[in-house]
C-alpha cells in the first residue's frame, strides 16, 4: 500500500460532514492537509484539532462555486503549501426544491456549480502538474444518485452527480497514461448535515442506522493508499442494513 505520510492532500468541503472526517483521517495517517470550504471559522477549528497530529494544514476559505475564488485558492496552496498529491473533490450542496417544476434556474446552477463545476475546476488546475510528475490521485465524491437518480435527490443534484462519473472517467483516460488515477465514490445515505436540506429531513432517531462520515473517509483513504499502479475506478458504498431514505 502507498504510505500517505508526508503527502499533500487538498479536501474541498472540509468544514463539516464527509470533508471534515476525510481531512481528520488523512492527518491521522500523516498527510498534510489543505482545508477548503466557505466557512473560515469552522476550518480554523478543524485545523486546531489536526494540529496535535504534527502535520501541516493550510486554511483556505473559498466559495467553490466561484471560479475566481477557486483559481486564487489553488494559487495560494501552490505558493504556500506545495504540490498536491491527492485531490478530494468532496464539496456538495442541495436545495429543498427538487422537482423539475419547482427547481429554478438559479437553484440548478447553484447545485451544479458546487457539486460538479468545482470538481472540474480543481481537476483542470491540478491535473497538469500531476501528469508532469507522473503521479497523483483524484477522488471524486459523487452519490448513490449517480447510479440511481431520483426525485428524492432532486433533478439538479442527480444531474450533477451523474455527470461527475463522466468527469471521473475522462480524468482516467487523460491521466492514466501519465500515472495519474481518479476514483469516484458513490455513497448511499449517510448521516451528515446535508440531510437537513431535504424538504422533509429524516428523523434524528433513524440516523444511527445510516452510514457515518467516518465510513466514507475510511473508503477515501483506502483508495488513496492503493499502490499507484492500481486504481479503484469506482466504489459504490451503501449501508449494510436496509437503507433509510
134 touches 229 (CB < 8 A): no
As a three-state string, the secondary structure of 135-202 is: CEEEEEECCHHHCCCCCCCCHHHHHHHHHHHHHHHHHHHHHHHHCEEEEEEEECCECCHHHHHCCCCC
Per the annotation, the verdict on 157 as an active-site residue is: yes
- Classify residue 190 by its DSSP letter: B
Count Cα neighbours of 43 within 13 Å in the Cβ-side half-sphere: 20
**Sign of torsion, CA 10 12 15 21?**
negative
157, 222, 238, 245: the catalytic one is: 157
Tell me the pairing of strands 57-61 and 32-37. parallel
Provide the annotated active-site residues: 157
Amino acid at each position: 500500500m502507498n504510505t500517505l505520510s508526508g503527502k499533500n492532500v487538498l479536501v474541498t468541503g472540509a468544514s463539516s460532514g464527509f470533508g471534515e472526517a476525510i481531512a481528520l483521517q488523512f492527518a491521522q495517517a500523516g498527510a498534510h492537509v489543505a482545508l477548503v470550504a466557505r466557512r473560515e471559522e469552522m476550518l480554523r477549528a478543524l485545523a486546531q484539532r489536526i494540529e496535535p497530529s504534527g502535520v501541516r494544514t493550510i486554511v483556505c476559505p473559498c466559495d467553490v462555486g466561484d471560479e475566481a475564488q477557486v483559481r486564487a485558492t489553488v494559487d495560494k496552496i501552490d505558493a504556500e503549501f506545495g504540490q498536491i498529491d491527492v485531490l478530494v473533490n468532496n464539496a456538495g450542496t442541495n436545495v429543498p426544491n427538487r422537482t423539475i417544476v419547482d427547481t429554478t434556474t438559479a437553484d440548478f446552477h447553484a447545485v451544479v456549480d458546487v457539486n460538479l463545476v468545482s470538481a472540474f475546476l480543481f481537476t483542470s488546475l491540478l491535473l497538469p502538474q500531476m501528469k508532469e510528475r507522473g503521479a497523483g490521485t483524484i477522488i471524486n465524491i459523487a452519490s448513490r444518485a449517480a447510479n440511481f437518480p431520483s426525485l428524492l435527490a432532486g433533478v439538479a443534484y442527480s444531474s450533477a452527480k451523474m455527470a461527475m462519473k463522466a468527469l471521473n472517467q475522462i480524468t482516467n483516460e487523460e491521466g492514466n497514461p501519465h500515472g495519474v488515477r481518479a476514483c469516484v465514490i458513490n455513497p448511499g445515505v449517510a448521516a451528515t448535515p446535508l440531510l437537513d436540506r431535504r424538504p422533509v429531513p429524516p428523523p434524528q432517531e433513524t440516523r444511527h442506522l445510516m452510514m457515518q462520515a467516518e465510513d466514507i473517509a475510511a473508503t477515501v483513504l483506502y483508495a488513496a493508499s492503493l499502490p499507484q499502479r492500481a486504481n479503484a475506478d469506482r466504489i459504490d458504498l451503501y449501508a449494510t442494513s436496509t437503507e433509510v431514505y
